[in-house]
C-alpha cells in the first residue's frame, strides 16, 4: 500500500504527532481488515483526502504495545489524531462513502 505508512510501536508517536493522521490497526488474518485495504488505498491516493490526511497502518500482532495503550479490542480499529491528540475512533468494516464522510468531518 504505497500511500499508507506502515507503523511500529517505536515509530507510532513520531509519525502521528503532526497534522491529521488516521491509523488503521489491523492483522493479516482479519477478513474485515482485508476488506478495508482497497478502500484505504483508494482514499489515500485521492488528491482531495490524501493531501490533507496522512494514512498509516499498524499490524497489532507485530506491535502489541500501542494497541494496548489505546484499549483496542477489536479490529480493524481506526484512530484519528490531529496534532497528536485523538479526535476520533471507528471500529469495524466501514463502507467507502461512510468512511470518507467520517474523515471529512475532521478536515
Catalytic residue among 22, 33, 40, 103: 33
90, 26 in Cβ contact below 8 A? no
- 30 included as an active-site residue: yes
Using a 10 angstrom Cβ sphere, with 0-12 exposed, 13-18 middle and 19 or more buried, the burial of residue 48 is exposed
Reading the block at residue 85, the C-alpha cell is: 491528540
Does the active-site annotation cover 34? no
Q: Check 7, 21, 22, 30 and give the catalytic one.
A: 30
Given a contact cutoff of 8 angstroms between Cβ atoms, the answer to whether 44 and 4 are in contact is yes
CA distances from 14 to 11, 53, 60 (A): 6, 15, 18
Would you please indicate which residues are annotated as catalytic (active-site) residues? 30, 33
Amino acid at each position: 500500500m504505497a500511500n499508507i505508512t506502515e507503523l511500529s510501536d517505536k515509530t507510532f508517536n513520531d509519525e502521528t504527532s503532526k497534522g491529521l493522521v488516521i491509523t488503521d490497526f489491523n492483522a493479516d488474518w482479519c477478513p474485515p481488515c482485508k476488506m478495508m485495504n482497497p478502500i484505504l488505498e483508494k482514499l489515500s491516493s485521492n488528491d482531495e483526502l490524501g493531501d490533507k490526511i496522512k494514512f498509516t497502518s499498524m499490524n497489532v500482532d507485530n506491535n502489541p504495545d500501542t494497541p494496548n495503550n489505546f484499549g483496542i479490542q477489536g479490529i480493524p480499529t481506526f484512530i484519528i489524531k490531529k496534532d497528536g491528540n485523538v479526535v476520533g475512533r471507528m471500529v469495524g468494516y466501514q463502507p467507502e462513502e461512510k468512511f470518507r464522510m467520517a474523515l471529512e468531518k475532521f478536515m
